[in-house]
A and B are shown apart, each in its own frame.
Chain A
Amino acid sequence: DTAVSQTPKYLVTQMGNDKSIKCEQNLGHDTMYWYKQDSKKFLKIMFSYNNKELIINETVPNRFSPKSPDKAHLNLHINSLELGDSAVYFCASSYTEGAEAFFGQGTRLTVV
């Protein structure tokens, strides 16, 4: 079983559309994250959740709205997509804050 799984793996969409990326972890971890990796492979945290509660919102535009229905899921909804949103988005989890993180395989978002 995949520890951290996110869907879809690829997402191609037009500017202005709304899209969602789903993430689930079966590790029993309390903390989940969303990271964004740009074209130069630079990874930056977007959000951190602990037991369904938002801990970090790293100055992400409010077009990005994470939702955690339970501590095993952290979904990312993006409104009014822009060209600059094109990137690879990674979901991750860790058993506690600051511990080793387990990453999903990534979702490559392309906005055209």
Chain B
Amino acid sequence: SQQGEEDPQALSIQEGENATMNCSYKTSINNLQWYRQNSGRGLVHLILIRSNEREKHSGRLRVTLDTSKKSSSLLITASRAADTASYFCATGFYNQGGKLIFGQGTELSVKP
């Protein structure tokens, strides 16, 4: 069954604005990962946050994880038109064959 629920399903903003996407999941996890998918392309890994971490940064990306609420958020600051893509959260497990369970994704559109 699907693990993650992402919110919003679609987000449209202007260049320069910040974009926030939220992810909720159901079971205990080892890590939570965020991926980007441009139209017609494969997924690109953005950031991984372990279950014992609360916040992580990478460039313009900031990820938070609240294991008590089983939720995570991805913040993209100072967005650019090139950030237009689908963003997926995925829960990771070390002892289940490494499978990732994906949310349904957030479609982000950044208008120039």
Contact = CB atoms under 8 A, between A and B. Distances in A.
B45 A42 contact: no
Interface string B72-112: 00000000000000101010111111111110110000000
A80 B90 CA distance: 31
Interface residues of B, number: 29
Interface stretch (B19-27, B36-44, B60-68): B36-44
B42 A43 contact: no
Contacts of B98: 31, 33, 48, 50, 55, 94, 96-99, 101
B41 A97 contact: no
A40 B2 CA distance: 13
A58 interface: yes
A92 B96 CA distance: 16
Given A41-B86, A48-B99, A56-B99, A98 B94 contact: yes
19 contacts: A31-B97, A31-B98, A41-B37, A42-B104, A43-B88, A43-B90, A43-B102, A45-B100, A50-B98, A56-B96, A56-B99, A90-B43, A96-B94, A97-B96, A97-B97, A99-B98, A101-B43, A101-B45, A103-B43
